[in-house]
A and B are shown apart, each in its own frame.
Chain A
Amino acid sequence: MKKRKNTVNRILEIILWICSIVTIYPILMVLLTSFKSKGEAAYLNISLPGEWHPENYVAVLEKDFVRSLGNSVFITLLSVVLITALSAFLSFIIARRDTKGCRITYKIITLGIIAPFTALPTIQLLQKLGMYGSRTGLCLVYAALYMPFTTMMLSGFIKGIPRELDEAAVMDGAVGWKLFVTVIFPLLKPALATTGVLNFMWVWNELQIPMYLLNSSAKWTLPLSVYNFYGQFSRSWNLVCADVVLVSLPVVIVYIFAQKWVIAGMTAGAVKG
């Protein structure tokens, strides 16, 4: 009986590895194509390059890649800090104060997960505020757009922290901001790391919103510059693939180092709802 089960598991394992070809094949194709000559790259297959061309990467790096990378890093970091800080304060008050007003606010905020991004009026508003096309303006819009999900997750975590801890700190005179820093923040760190990593990946990868809100190419983020690059060089798959590899590298690295938090966060988010 036990033996039969082992055989079944072996077979299933092999089937899973065969299915994973669907995942691996396109990625391998992109990696190999990025090292080919333009002519060879047009075939989009997984044969090894006849001649390796690492200079494809140099060509891509020379095309404003570094400037876009700088923009992406600045926008992503500022946005993640804003989203995390604002959502943490809001969740703290919503979860603990727990008045009728707080519950209504929570309902309105969660609607933000469902409602779509309204591009035109947002552009108009940013123009009125003198922030259209600025990186800071974009970061504030990200803060508003990603706050709902983060607030939902964080308030769930805060509700799980026993109120007795708050009461003990209040005895010692810690109220409001001080209570948050001394009691809630240390316990919230893992949750903050999780939402931080998730928001990092989402903001980093976003194409639609910067496309609407950044008008000059000097401020473009990486996905925007890659999209534009593809428009210019759609016949040179070797360069496009090198660009794809370079733009994906940061998220893949972050994922590898932060895998634990990403998975913990996704499952916690799904369980809590």
Chain B
Amino acid sequence: MTRETIRKIEGFVALLLSTLAALLGLFWLVFILGDVLVHGIKALNLGLFMNDPTPPGIVGGGLRSAFIGQLLITITATLIGVPIGVLGGTFLAEYARGTKIAHLISVLSDIMVSVPSIVIGTFIYAVLVKPVGHFNGWAGAVALSIIMVPVVLRTTEDMLTLVPWTLREAAFALGAPYHKVIIQVVYRGAATGILTGILLSIARVAGETAPLLFTSFNNSFFSANMNEPVASLTVTIFQYAMGPYDDWHAQAWAASFVVTMVILLLTIAGRLIIRWRYK
């Protein structure tokens, strides 16, 4: 064999391997999604959203409390996390632009994005659950918002930095004070980007289980009271999947299906907005 053929064969084998790797990645995606789809749709019915859980063995139980609870916790977390994140990002990108402290904070929040969420759960347990004496919905919401803040903060900062500086100067030249410039000029330019960041951060926390496990805990009765333990879909999946009953497993699959769909829709919506805006 000549040197050339060897090189060609080597190149072919390497490229074939990496193509296979890409196919393997796609294979897992299809495998997992297909599995959730098949099991989830089988167990999906209207009663799932309308009824409260029944004791195992009795037909007709649903997960109404978990759906409502999840919604409550996520919305509260969004209400706490988004303003802090957006304001923090604004501070970093506008008032503290280029300073050492801004750089430090953005590096730190990059790290915080990946800090194990269960550690946040233990932290909130010590701060908000132990003093109160029982698990409560607020603690879960706060835990989720802590996970949310770094994500929103970083995207806001990036998006605001993308707004051209000359645009601000034009507004200054018209005599506008800085806060007016930020609200009326900079935010308008960066609105879609920030919105995307918020959507992605909601998608991120909606699937979190670990921090809710020791904070909002679970509740098999319907409750919209955030001072009580509140049920959530993810913790319900956690408990039902462990349980020995077949109808629990079916409901866990249905809940997984709903959670996955919501999160994938949010993620795809986020990506589409980015594409539509920055192309």
Q: Do A and B belong to a common assembly?
A: no
